[in-house]
Amino acid sequence: MRKHFGAVVSCALVVAVMTLGIAARTFAATRPVVTCSNGIVAAAHPLASQAGLQILMKGGNAIDAAVATAAVLNVVEPDYSSIAAGGVMMIYDAATKDMVCINANAPNPAKASMQTLTKDTAQRGFAAGMVPAALKAWCEAIEKYGTMALAEVLAPAIEYAEKGFPITERLSSAIQSNLTLLSIYPTSAAIFLPNGEAPKPGDILVQTDLANTMKRVAQEGPDVFYKGEIADEMAKFFEENGGLITKEDIANYEVEWGEPLHSTYRGYDVYSPGGEFCGALVLEQLNIVEPFDLAKMGSDSPDTLHLMIEATKLAGLDRDKYIADPKFVDVPEKALVSKDYAEAQRVQIDMAKAADRVVGTDADKYENTTHISVIDKDGNMVAYTTSIGSSFGTGVVIGNTGVFLNNGGGWMEFKEDHINKIEPHKRPMNNISPVFVLKDDKPVLNIGTPGGDAIWQTMFQLVVNVLDFGMDVQTAIEAPRYRTYSFGGNDVRLEGRVPEAIRAELQARGHKIRTFADWTSSVGGAQGIVADYDRKVLMGGADPRRDGYVVGW
């Protein structure tokens, strides 16, 4: 028996359907909510979730478990994850009430500019790639808030890389879709295209070089990667192949510690990353709709969807106008999340007619992203969303490291007057925006999603599903979603499960409706956890739109 989450129970993995409310629903989730009391991990691959759970069961905390999970994702979904990726990690320390945010959004190297790169060369190939960031965030999080040694936390990932794992149908399909790209680069083809073909589902994928890189880090610490022999190998590889990244770029990289943005919504405290991340947009959307009684309007109401879509379009305009690296531009994030600003935005919404608001940036950015949510028995939380940019990032495995780089520079602008223009050392605008919700300093919701431009739109919908419509976390994740696009002012896509009558009513109000497949990853692949302190229970949900799984004990 052990003390856990405010109660005492035997150790067990419990799977059951539970709800956080009584709102009526016209659809049901395809999966049960995972319920437990000692700790819970939600990630985009079952092997990664299980690795995090193993760490919790050994006595590690949420930070230890999140890093273990992230490291395994690097191995089992290399098209989405990398030890060198970019992203953001939010941490809530239950003992101190600290709420911190680690900005690990990978920056451009010093030589990256509109003179040295084009839109194409910034996306794929030897010249593309951002400075490795993820590992530095993992190690600093462990050092400050973790309880276990780095070697123990990385052990599951090293084992899967060294001994191999059976690949999923999704990963097999991703490799097949990128066969031409991966075949260009011998270092990539040697690992992912044995005999020149994509591995089939169930084939064992071994990544010996990646295992050796992680072993060195586990034994010697992150300096071997950023300043030692691994950094030398990466720098040599780029020099020999016409790349831009240098040893100085790698050695000088530092993550940025800070606090997430904060707002309130219906009496809850809501947190999401600011700066060049899009957390401000999530909070802005919530503030815009807060005066409306969404619960009374109903989750399946055309009025509700129209209102939320219009709020999303207003926030999208603010992203393109204001969100960029705050080291280069002034981001008025505190104003964006203020109640006064929300009121000024709200009056622009006509409930009878869709407004023509054209969002100016490309439609699909940072689609190859993944999210991890963890809560441990003491109420510590981690929300970590990380991205490699496009599928397999730059497409190039760096020498004998087994590592792909994030290709975020390819999503920056090549326009002199654009706030997100590509510049040396600059971090790209990033749609990533995980959310923590607390009540009286106690965790309520820990959730995040991949999905490119859909991320901050989907996050808004997920929070509303839980807090307004009382959905359990699995149902909130599975509920049909919308996504606005930049092709025109009123372009909206709805998942096919949205009833025809609702689509017709939205069209009558001026929305240009197109339909996704019933279950599309274009609206994300969320992972989330609800903490119910009254019943002393943790409840997790994972998105069937991806390979997500939740495990707890």
Q: How far apart are CA 420 and CA 426, in angstroms?
A: 9
Task: Using alpha carbons only, give the angle 3, 380, 539 rounded to the nearest 5 degrees.
Answer: 75
**Distance of alpha carbon 211 from alpha carbon 45, whole angstroms:** 19
Give residue 511's region: left, alpha or beta (phi > 0; psi -120 to 50).
beta
* Placement of tokens 């941490």 in the chain: 91
Catalytic, 369? Answer yes
Element (H, E) at 445: strand 442-448
The tokens describing 337, both together, are 């999340």
For residue 548, what is the DSSP state? -
Q: In this structure, is the dihedral angle defined by the CA atoms of residues 325, 395, 65 and 532, taken in order, positive or negative?
A: positive
Residue from 458, 370, 420, 393 nearest 89 by CA: 370
Residue with tokens 């800070």: 258
Say which residue the tokens 């590509």 belong to: 422
What six digits make up the tokens of 184?
């260009």
If 0-12 CB within 10 Å is exposed, 13-18 middle and 19+ buried, where does residue 362 land? exposed
The 3-state secondary structure of 248-300, one letter per residue: HHHHCCCCEEECCEEEEECCEEEEECCCCECHHHHHHHHHHHCCCCHHHHCCC
* Cα Dmax for the chain: 64
**Identity at 30, one-letter amino acid code:** T
CA torsion angle 261 263 269 271 (round to 10): -20
What whole-number distance in Å separates Cα of residue 92 and Cα of residue 96? 9
Nearest residue to 429 (alpha-carbon basis) of 120, 157, 86, 155: 86
CB contact set of 344 (below 8 Å; sequence gap of 6+): none
Out of 246, 312, 369, 475, the active site residue is: 369
> Which residues, 6 or more positions from 428, have their beta carbon under 8 angstroms from its beta carbon?
105, 108, 130, 276, 325, 408, 409, 411, 412, 420
How many helices (H) and strands (E) the chain has is answered by 19, 22
- Using alpha carbons, select from 273, 362, 361, 347 the residue that is nearest to residue 317: 361
Catalytic residues: 369
